Amino acid sequence: MPDLLLEIGTEEMPVELLSPMAVDLSLRVNRALAENGSLKGGIRVLYTPRRLALIATDVSTQAFDDEERVNTISHILGEPVNELVSEGVMHRDSSPVMFIRPIRYVVCLYGEQVIPLRVGNVVADRQTCAHWRSAAGEEITLSCAADYEQVLATGGVIVDQERRKQMTRDAITAAASEANVSAQVDDNLLARIADGVEYPQPVIGRVNLPPDLPAVFVKAVIRKAGFVPLDADQGSVVGFVGFADGPVDRDVVRVGYERVARSALSGCRLLYTRDREASLADHVSSLRNIGDEVGVGSLWEKTERLRTLSVQVAQALDASVGTVDRAAFLCQADLATWIVHEFASLHGIAGAVYAKLDGEESSVCIALEEGAVSNLERGRIPASTEGLAIAIAERYDHLATLLLTGNEAYAPQVVSAGDDLIGLLIGGKVDLDLLSVLGALREQYRMLAPAIRIEDLEGALRTCLKERLIHYLETKQEVTSRIASALPQTLRSNPYRSSACALGLQEASSKEGFALLLGSFAKLRTRFRVGNKRVFDPALFEEETERTLWREYLKAEGKMEGLLAKLDYEQAIDQLTSLWGAIDRYAEDVDPGAGSEEVRNNRLGLIASIVGLYTRVGNFAALLETDGYAPGEEKK
Amino acid sequence: MALQEIALCLQDFWKEEGCPTISPCGPIPAGVLTPDVFFGVLAPRPWCASQMVSVVDPSLAPYGDDPLSPIIDRHLQVTRCDPSSDLRARFIESLRMLGLDLPSRDIRFVAHNYGWKQSYLAVRAAGWRVLIDQIEVGSLSYLQRLGEIDFEPVPMMVEYSLGRLAISVGIEDEDVPTERGRQIAAYALECADPERINSLLSLHADECEQALAGGFYFPAYEHVLASVYLHSLFALHDSSSDEGQSGRAAHIADLASGCARMYVEALDA
């Protein structure tokens, strides 16, 4: 079956929108073809700044003749394509189409056959465009859909964005190898470069370094100028690779690139010099006049909260409180510097550099740097406990302020902040209850948003943590949704302990004895009306079965206590399982209604205490329900 | 070819394209339309012109008046209203007229959604920054809307940064800041009193409202331009949240929008 090619040729579109628009186009066309049962193969999305294209392989149409085939495909594609382009923002003539940039032509081929699809005022044909600076001239006639990529390549256009990215990566590797240095290729920068051209042509440049400018600043400047810095200690010179679009005279272009890089470095040097007129600590006072990222308070207030938070986290981590407090005091200060004003990606890193130059203690500088790197690279866990404390405090406060400003638990920013925080706590093995930390910050958060009750923030935080924790356990630790949803309520705000519990519970649930454990729990719930009063007097037990259960309970409780302190939930559950025989005999021999009220209440006190052990390692009622047992029904 | 020759060459080129040269304007703050262009594009008949403009941008003060980020620059703003013409092709042709060897250069049209810093003027535009070997030499824009007024047909704007274009052509390669630019940078960073600047900004905004209340949209627009300059200066020292800054810019945009509305109403009357 033939392939279907659709290409929308435009003037240069915003690079950051290319990938999402291409995916959007593909989804719309895929849905339309699938609804008509026409798509037998897959869809490939291709794009450059001047075109969006897709190739659908093995497209079938039930048609008697060419005319009917043309009409069918036009009909299928017409709506989704016109819907997409009508969501744009720009027009330049009387065309009803307001695509993101003006449409110059449309190609639509089914095998060799032109599908005259109408997109706005433009009717599709088989004429595509070569690179606009191609010597071969701009217009190219396509004979069939299958030739598309190859024909365009001869016209100086690599239409496959992944191939352009690979060409870019290869060129950087080759340049680094030739210079006998290495190059750190940042994927985002690579994508930005490859998406911005139709044919990447490497141009290698070199510039003199301004004196004293820290290497990390040099790289940020070169990257911001759109070039890839080469790693090397070449004294006073730094190399970089830039990418021209299409054929150029590299010697001429190099002069311009070097001029741009030199100018950017010299500007950075001025900012750096201005920043160094004061110490990093001096910049802290300026934070009073700078708004925080969610617009509810100043960065000074944020700094105060971070100090409170990070010290609490430090205590849980057994980290140096003095170091953490100093790092928390300084960690926002670089937001008042010129360098971060211009290069936002240097926030945190610049602080660490300036702290070092100011002669701050090395542990403080390390904490600042690790906290910053953890912010920039999601999933990166700081190596030092002090750095970890700073990173956790920053994420926690970010999440709390997002919730304080009315963002819902499912808002993308909240989801991202929640995931980051949970990842840090579990990855960093931090045994910390996040809600208990909130207590020390009540007043600070209340001042930030007086209209919001702190109880509402607690509720929002609890909901968010529960949802993000379940997501983390299921996606990162392969915990089943049955187990992830059956964690003890009391652990929900302690992600690391929850994770240990979930993994222990999952392991234990695969053992034979787990069914017995669930069964004995079901019996207790069915036979006795278990209350919350966990008080009993052994002297009031009337039967030997009661005394046996009591002794077994004491043994299990003592061992579980030690195991839970070590977060060994699997062994703790094994200890609980050892009670099942005594529970079964008790449930069969003891009449819950026998004896005086005092004896009956005493009996319920023992049962409540035993159920209390269950609740420390899992929500067994939820587990029974997911197994299909209604409340009160015994597990057979 | 000297910088002045570049300007004359481009003006001649656009005159041939139906955009006559009008009196120079300036200095005006960066990112705004000159009064001629602002009111010209609102006129009922298609308006075409090319105009030399002296542009001052104190927001670049931290960079010390680098030739690639000049605090004072001369721009050529070309406005035309001919939907059938290929603006991009004409722009490329104008570069060729300057003697640039285009096949050897890395010429990019980088799309951006807002044309230029027009948020002050309530303008919605779409267009491209034009870079030669990564040096930004100008921009092309299609004005979509000004205030509450949708354009039909759509005016097109070409803006050349003559200083940077000269560097690309190869006539200037000095990293030495001009004394005037150096003084503006030093004043903006070290001497300007943010509180007083903010007060002046409020005074100009109030005076603009007063002028509009009296039906004086041309003088009102002069206060808009002064407000933009002061806002740009104040922003160097203002570390309030983006929301706060965009709130002030939005107020200036409202005033500009008022000027546009009143002018169109006067034309209709």
Most B CBs within 10 Å: which of A92, A104, A134, A296, as the mutation test of the B interface? A92
Q: Is A621 on the interface with B (CB under 8 A)?
A: no
Per the domain annotation, does A564 fall within a domain? yes
Q: Does B190 touch chain A (CB under 8 A)?
A: no
Cα A234 to Cα A230: distance, rounded to the nearest angstrom: 10
Comparing A187-191, A534-538, B31-35, the range with the smallest average pLDDT is A534-538
Q: Which of B176, B210, B233 is the last residue of a domain?
A: B176
Tell me which of A154, A176, A193 is where a domain ends: A154
Note whether A416 and A438 are same-domain residues: yes
Report the residue from B62, B67, B167 with minimal CB separation from A274. B62
The more confident residue out of A145 and A624 is A145
A354, pLDDT greater than 90: yes
**Amino acid (1-letter code) at residue A542:** E
pLDDT at B127: 87
Size of interface A-B (CB pairs under 8 A): 134
| Among the partner residues B63, B111, B113, nearest to A270 by beta-carbon distance | B63
**Is residue A589 over pLDDT 60?**
yes
Query: Tell me, what's the pLDDT at B113?
Result: 62
Among A104, A132, A154, give the residue marking a domain's end.
A154
- A350 & A472 share domain: yes
Structural domain includes residue A305: yes
Q: Which of A62-76, A339-353, A408-422 has the lowest mean pLDDT?
A: A62-76
Contact of A9 with A107, CB cutoff 8 Å: yes
Answer yes or no: are the C-beta atoms of B47 and B22 closer than 8 Å. no
- On whether both A248 and A290 belong to a single domain, the answer is no
CA distances from A163 to A157, A186, A197 (A): 11, 17, 12
Taking an 8 Å cut-off on Cβ atoms, the answer to whether A266 and B156 are in contact is no
Same domain, B221 and B133: no
First to last CA, chain B: 49
Domain presence at residue A358: yes
Q: Judge whether B67 is closer than 8 Å to chain A, CB to CB.
A: yes
- How confident is the model at residue B173, as a pLDDT? 47
Number of domains comprising chain A: 4
- Other CB atoms within 10 Å distance of the CB of residue B253: 20
Cis amide leading into A450 (omega within 30):
no
CA distance A205 to chain B (A): 12
Element (H, E) at A620: helix A620-626
Which residues in chain B have their CB less than 8 angstroms from residue A260's CB? 68, 133-135
Per-residue confidence band for A404, with pLDDT thresholds at 50, 70 and 90: confident
Q: Give yes or no: residues B24 and B102 share one domain.
A: yes
- Give the strand pairing for B123-132 and A4-10: unpaired
Query: Based on the domain organization, do A36 and A118 belong to the same domain?
Result: yes
The pLDDT value recorded for residue A446 is 82
Q: Is B103 on the interface with A (CB under 8 A)?
A: yes
In chain B, residues with a C-beta closer than 8 Å to the C-beta of A256 are: 105-106, 132-135, 168
Distances (CA, A) of A376 to A348, A380, A392, A395, B140: 9, 9, 13, 12, 35
Structural element, H or E, at residue A79: helix A66-85
Q: What is the pLDDT of residue A395?
A: 93
For chain B, give percent helix, strand, coil, nearest 5. 50, 25, 30
DSSP-assigned letters across all residues of B124-192: EEEEEEEEETTEEEEEEEEEEEETTEE-SSPPEEEEEEHHHHHHHHTS----PPPHHHHHHHHIIIII-
Task: Tell me whether B62 touches chain A (CB under 8 Å).
Answer: yes
DSSP for A518-559 reads HHHHHHHHHHS---S-----GGG--SHHHHHHHHHHHHHHHH
In this structure, the answer to whether residues A51 and A122 fall within a common structural domain is yes
Question: What's the pTM?
Answer: 0.81
* Chain B residues near residue A244 by CB distance under 8 angstroms: 106, 133
Please give the C-alpha separations between residue B200 and each of B213, B218, B250, in angstroms, as whole numbers: 20, 20, 17
What is the pLDDT confidence band of residue A103, given thresholds at 50, 70 and 90?
A: confident
Report CA B249 to chain centroid distance, whole Å.
16
- Domain containing B35 — which CATH number? 3.30.930.10
Hey, are the CB atoms on B105 and A252 less than 8 Å from each other? yes
- Same-domain status, B50 and B142: yes
From A246-255, A374-383, A452-461, B170-179, the region with the lowest mean pLDDT: B170-179
Query: Is 60 exceeded by the pLDDT of residue A365?
Result: yes
Q: Which residue would you say has higher pLDDT here, A241 or B4? A: A241
Same domain, B92 and B170: yes
Residue A67: predicted pLDDT: 80
- Going through A192-321 in order, the beta strands assigned E by DSSP cover 200-208, 228-229, 237-245
* Cβ atoms A440, A454 nearer than 8 A: no
- Chain A residues whose beta carbon lies within 8 Å of the beta carbon of residue B189: 274
B107 touches chain A (CB under 8 A): yes
* Yes or no, beta carbons of B104 and A94 under 8 Å apart: no
Query: Could you read off the pLDDT of B56-109 as tens digits, one per residue?
Result: 998 888 877 688 888 988 999 999 988 777 888 999 999 999 999 999 999 999
CATH classification of the domain holding B215: 1.20.58.180
Q: Which chain A positions have a beta carbon within 8 Å of B106's beta carbon?
A: 201, 203, 244-245, 248, 253, 256
Separation CA B129–CA B120 (nearest Å):
19
Verify whether the Cβ–Cβ distance B239 to A15 is below 8 Å.
no
Q: Which domain holds residue A618?
A: 498-626
Within 10 Å of residue A143's Cβ, how many Cβ atoms?
11
Look at residues B260, B251, B205, B199 and name the one whose alpha carbon lies nearest to residue B227: B205
Tell me how far apart the alpha carbons of residues A72 and A635 are, in angstroms, rounded to a whole number: 59
**CA–CA separation, A435 vs A437, rounded Å?**
5
Residue A634 pLDDT more than 70?
no
Report yes or no on A192 lying in a domain.
yes
Average pLDDT, consecutive stretches of 10 residues, N- to C-terminus, chain B (269 residues): 88 95 90 91 90 91 81 92 83 94 93 59 83 94 84 89 91 64 88 92 96 96 95 81 69 92 91
Indicate whether A152 pLDDT > 70.
Answer: yes
Among the partner-chain residues B64, B133, B142, the one whose CB lies closest to the CB of A92 is B142
CA distance B210 to chain A (A): 31
For residue B198, give its domain range. Answer: 192-268
Bridge partners (DSSP) of residue A10 are: A103
Whole-angstrom Cα distance, residue B75 to residue B137? 10
For residue A515, report the phi and psi dihedrals to the nearest 5 degrees. -65, -35
- The domain total for chain B is 2
* Tokens (6 digits) for A223: 């990257």
Q: Which residue from A15, A244, A256 is facing B168, i.e. has the nearest CB?
A: A256
What's the rounded Cα separation, in Å, for the pair A424 and A364? Answer: 19
Q: Is residue A234 domain-shared with residue A314, that is, in the same domain? A: no
User: Is B205 a domain residue?
Assistant: yes
Of A90, A252, A338, the CB nearest to B144: A90
Q: DSSP 3-state assignment of A633?
A: coil
Structural tokens at position B193: 């009193």
Q: Do B175 and A92 touch (CB under 8 A)?
A: no
Cross-chain Cβ contact B133/A11 below 8 Å: no
The pLDDT of A177-205, averaged and rounded, is 89
Query: Is the pLDDT assigned to residue A88 strictly greater than 60?
Result: no
Of the residues B148, B176, B204, the one at which a domain ends: B176
Cβ pair B124, B157 in contact under 8 A? no
Element (H, E) at A615: helix A597-617
In 3D space, the residue among A204, A259, A243, A347 whose CA is nearest the CA of residue B69 turns out to be A259
Computed over every residue of chain A, the mean pLDDT equals 87
Chain B contact for A89 (CB, 8 A cutoff): yes
Side-chain half-sphere of B133: how many Cα atoms within 13 Å?
A: 30
Taking residue A236's Cβ as centre, other Cβ atoms within 10 Å add up to: 9
In chain B, beta strands by DSSP E: 21-29, 49-56, 72-80, 107-112, 123-132, 135-146, 149-150, 156-161
Of A106, B186, B256, A122, give the one whose Cα is nearest residue A114.
A106
Q: How far apart are CA A609 and CA A632, in angstroms?
A: 19
Residues B115 and B227 in one domain: no
CB of B23 within 8 Å of a chain A CB? The answer is no
What is residue A107's three-state secondary structure? strand
Question: In terms of domains, do B39 and B171 share one?
Answer: yes
User: Does the pLDDT of residue A237 top 80, yes or no?
Assistant: yes
Same domain, B169 and B200: no
Interface contact B88-A291, CB threshold 8 A: no
Establish if A225 touches chain B: CB-CB under 8 angstroms.
yes
Omega of the bond prior to A592 within 30 degrees of 0, cis?
A: no
CATH number for position A303: 1.10.3210
Interface membership of B71 toward A (CB under 8 Å): no
Q: Are A156 and A137 in contact (CB under 8 A)?
A: no
In terms of domains, do B171 and B223 share one?
no
Which of A226, A260, A275 is the endpoint of a domain?
Answer: A275
In A, residues 121-150, which contact B (CB 8 Å cutoff)?
133, 135
Same domain, B164 and B206: no
Residue corresponding to tokens 């003749």: A65
Contact B133/A342, CB-based, under 8 Å?
no
| Residue in chain A nearest B141 by alpha carbon | A92
Task: Kindly determine whether residue A260 and residue B126, on different chains, have CB atoms separated by under 8 Å.
Answer: no
Phi and psi, residue A73, nearest 5°: -70, -40
Give the CA-trace dihedral at B117, B122, B125, B129, to 10 degrees: -10
